[in-house]
């Protein structure tokens, strides 16, 4: 699986968009970009995934650069409940997930 | 559907004792994964099953660890002769099949070895 690099921590004001970057320069052609988050004391929760195109669901949007070497997870209107560790993972569908250190997002009132 | 459940939620044991954890995946999910998470780190993969077959094991899974999924439904993870380094959160996840994109995680079992 390709390695990912994420900032260790980020802050965001409540109600504003949170933009979480991820670098995955060694991604291979058939690997997907996944985002999971883990709220304190809970198991990780799937957010979104994509291959090449930008994706949007009820939780977030995923923007993948044309060369697929980086991506950004966007939470359009962050709430206090979005405070969590966000993990960017690159792998094939069905594979085990290789979690890095993730980004600790703190949403502040 | 109540999601993935894990029991017990917390376990405190003395070094050298054996412990067993149980995971009940979402019904009809063929794949079941075990991960371990230590404080401040992301989860690390341990092993996974496709139905009752154990398909892959991490090098983290020493010979003191054994996992089973006897009828392709629930799974157990046993740790024999526990060590203090085994203290961690043990997470279970399930997915529908090998082409599924999403893994559903349980709440985890927190093991403390004293």
Q: How far lies B69's CA from each of B38, B46, B97, in Å?
A: 24, 14, 15
Calculate mean pLDDT across residues B12-30. 96
Instruction: Give pLDDT tens digits for B37-76.
Output: 999 899 999 999 999 999 999 988 889 999 999 988 999 9
Which stretch of DSSP H or E encloses residue A91?
strand A84-91
Sign of the torsion formed by the C-alpha atoms of A65, A31, B44 and B11 = positive
Calculate mean pLDDT across residues A79-105. 93
Q: How confident is the model at residue A24 (pLDDT cuts 50, 70, 90)?
A: very high
> Do the chains contact at B101 and A101, CB–CB below 8 Å?
no
> Do the chains contact at A34 and B101, CB–CB below 8 Å?
yes
> Do the chains contact at A99 and B56, CB–CB below 8 Å?
no
B56 touches chain A (CB under 8 A): yes
B11 vs chain A: nearest CA distance in angstroms? 15
Whole-number pLDDT of residue B47: 96
> Do the chains contact at A94 and B95, CB–CB below 8 Å?
yes
- The 3 state secondary structure assigned to A2-60 is CCCECCCEEEEECCCCEEEEEECCCCCCCCEEEEEEECCCCCCEEEEEECCCCEECCCC
B99 touches chain A (CB under 8 A): yes
Spatial distance between the Cα atoms of A104 and A40, rounded to a whole number of angstroms:
11
> Do the chains contact at B100 and A94, CB–CB below 8 Å?
yes
CB-nearest partner of A43 from B48, B98, B105: B105
Q: How confident is the model at residue A1 (pLDDT cuts 50, 70, 90)?
A: low
Whole-number pLDDT of residue A30: 87
Angle at A25 between CA A78 and CA A57, to 5 degrees: 30
pLDDT reading at B36 higher than 80: yes
Average pLDDT for chain A: 94
Q: What percent of chain B has pLDDT over 90?
A: 85
Question: What is the pairing mode between strands A55-56 and A45-50?
Answer: unpaired
Instruction: Give pLDDT tens digits for A54-87.
Output: 999 999 999 999 999 999 999 999 999 999 999 9
CB-nearest partner of A97 from B97, B98, B103: B103
Q: Which residues of A touch B41 (CB under 8 A)?
A: 101
B103 touches chain A (CB under 8 A): yes
Question: Helix, strand or coil for residue B5?
Answer: strand
Whole-number pLDDT of residue A23: 97
Which residue of A43, A49, A93, A97 to mutate against B (max B Cβ within 10 Å)? A43
Whole-number pLDDT of residue A95: 84
Whole-number pLDDT of residue B14: 98
Q: Which residues of B touch A94 (CB under 8 A)?
A: 31, 95, 97-100
Whole-number pLDDT of residue B3: 94
Per the CB < 8 A criterion, the answer to whether A2 and A95 are in contact is no
């Amino acid at each position: 699986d390709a390695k990912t690099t994420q900032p260790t921590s980020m802050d965001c004001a409540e109600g504003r968009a949170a933009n979480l970057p991820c670098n995955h320069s060694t991604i291979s052609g058939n690997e997907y970009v996944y985002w999971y988050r883990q709220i304190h004391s809970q198991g990780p929760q799937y957010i979104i995934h994509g291959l090449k195109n930008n994706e949007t669901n009820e939780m977030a949007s995923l923007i993948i650069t044309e060369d697929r070497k980086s991506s950004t997870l966007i939470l359009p209107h962050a709430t206090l409940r979005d405070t969590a560790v966000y993990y960017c993972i690159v792998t094939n569908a069905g594979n085990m997930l290789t979690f890095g250190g993730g980004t600790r997002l703190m949403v502040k009132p | 559907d109540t999601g993935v459940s894990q029991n017990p939620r917390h376990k405190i044991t003395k070094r050298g004792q054996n412990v067993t954890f149980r995971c009940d995946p979402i019904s009809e999910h063929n794949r079941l994964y075990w991960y371990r998470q230590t404080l401040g780190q992301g989860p690390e993969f341990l092993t996974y099953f496709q139905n009752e077959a154990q398909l892959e094991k991490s090098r983290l899974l020493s010979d003191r660890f054994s996992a089973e999924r006897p009828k392709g439904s629930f799974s157990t993870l046993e740790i024999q002769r526990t060590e203090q380094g085994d203290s961690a959160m043990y997470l279970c996840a399930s997915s529908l099949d090998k082409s599924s994109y999403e893994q559903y995680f349980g709440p985890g079992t927190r093991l403390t070895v004293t």
